[in-house]
Amino acid sequence: MDPMEALVAQIRGLSSCAGDLSRLQSILKQADDSLRFDSTRLSAVLSQLDPSKHSLGCLYILEASTAGPVSKEQADILVPVIARFINSSAAEHIRMAPDKFASVCKRLKDQVMLLNVPVRGVAPLLTAVRKLQTTTEHLTPLHPEFLLLCLLSKCYKAGLSILEDDVFEIDQPRDLFLYCYYGGMICIGQKRFKKALELLHNVVTAPMSTINAIAVEAYKKYILVSLIQHGQFSTNLPKYTSSVAQRNLKGFCQPYYELANIYSTGKIAELESYVETNREKFENDNNLGLVKQVVLSMYKQNIQRLTQTYLTLSLQDIANTVHLNSPKEAETHVLQMIQDGEIFATINQKDGMVRFLEDPEQHKSCEMIEHIDSSIQRIMALSRKLTAMDEQISCDQLYLSKAGRERHRYDFDDFDSVPQRFNI
């Protein structure tokens, strides 16, 4: 009997219960080499199996037989095969071999990119992410791949669905860097600047031992989004940022620092001319569109500043102070800001005046109580997580032996709770 046929028979026989499955897995591991057959036989072999019932076996066969380089013609045949497998496979099977599943899905991504139709991979990869993760807090290696396909196929909205999950578990640091970077780009595209800032901030402040290109590019965008969202950018990174990032990021982002400096003067003409002279640099970084939004945001920031000083102001005065050409232009800007909820004001056309108002929110509606309550709940959940993690680390052998070893280097009082040495 052909070894392949024997294997297919075993897959069919050992796919029902957990005990059988782990036996099957050890058989499959041993057979790994014989699985690397010509991919032309793939469909014949797979047709004897049901991807929803024999998912583990199908996964090993798919993984082994798609390992080599593929031509466009082959990719065109493989993409629907893999997509169908992702859709129908059983989650408990594929989680037994998460690496194999991830590598099959990554090949699907490579193939749709080779075919230049990234949109074909969006739905399968979203399904794959959901099947592979045990909870929504788990960041799989497929998260960044999915977001990349969303960006390339301009399906930004589809990407938002996984960005709303709070992440606590990560397999590889690189996954987090890319997830947050791509996620930041998706949020920028959807003009959700607050969320974008949060994601990009995570890239920049994540632990790293050497500087990496993802962090540098994220930092550039972080500076720009920070200006758009808050009208300012603080050059100081938080204390918990790795020292590598603190030392090196600035050097890679000089034009952006300069831009933020000029922005802080509030002079629109200078900002515009700086952007014009450095246009090429921003363009090469693919950030020109975002830079242009920074320039536009300066009008808003300047108008916002006025609301802190004045109760009423004429449209003419607003136009003069923020360097707009006419009272009509000032009115348009004020109107747009009211529409976006960025300021509270009423325009009196008859007198050509604007009256700035207080935020009408009185924090006593049911909605607001609901909002406060859910925020407190979230913070409490986070605090519980931190406590659990803290406990886990204080029991960690590696941490304790390192902390114990370095203890003599510090003042006694600073490390009062750390034991002298902990040999388990």
Binding site for another protein (CB under 8 A): 76, 79-80, 83, 87, 117, 119-124, 126, 153-158, 189-191, 332, 334-336, 338-339, 345-351, 355, 360, 364-367, 369-370, 372-373, 376
| Nearest residue (CB) to another protein, 67 versus 119 | 119
Give the DSSP letter string of 244-279.
HHHHHHHHHTHHHHHHHHHHHHT-HHHHHHHHHHTH
Which residue lies nearer to another protein by CB, 379 or 393?
Answer: 379
Minimum distance from residue 67 beta carbon to another protein (Å): 22
Q: For another protein, give the closer residue by CB, 120 or 220.
A: 120
Least separation in angstroms between CB 351 and another protein:
8
Minimum separation from the CB atom of position 80 to another protein (A):
5
Classified as helix, coil or strand, 236 is: coil
Nearer to another protein, 19 or 360 (CB): 360
**DSSP symbol at 134:** S
What is the three-class DSSP state of 89?
coil
> Cβ of residue 76: shortest distance to another protein, in angstroms?
8
Q: Structure tokens of 377? A: 């709940």
Nearest distance from C-beta of residue 178 to another protein, angstroms: 21
The answer to whether residues 118 and 112 touch, using CB atoms and an 8 Å cutoff, is yes
**Alpha-carbon gap, residue 83 to 80, rounded angstroms:** 5
Question: In angstroms, rounded to a whole number, what is the distance separating the alpha carbons of residues 105 and 83?
Answer: 9
Q: What angle do helix axes 213-230 and 173-189 make, rounded to 10 degrees?
A: 30
- CB nearer to another protein: pick between 265 and 339: 339
In one-letter notation, the amino acid at residue 216 is: V
Calculate the CA 262 to chain-centre distance: 29
User: Closest approach of Cβ 86 to another protein, in Å?
Assistant: 9
Query: Is the CB of 111 or the CB of 242 nearer to another protein?
Result: 111
Taking the least distance from each CB to another protein, the nearer of 20 and 342 is 342
What's the one-letter identity of residue 247?
A: R
Q: What is the closest distance, in whole angstroms, from the C-beta atom of residue 20 to another protein in the complex? A: 31
The answer to whether the beta carbons of residues 206 and 173 sit under 8 Å apart is yes
Token look-up 């203890």 returns: 407
Cβ proximity of 116 and 76 under 8 Å: no
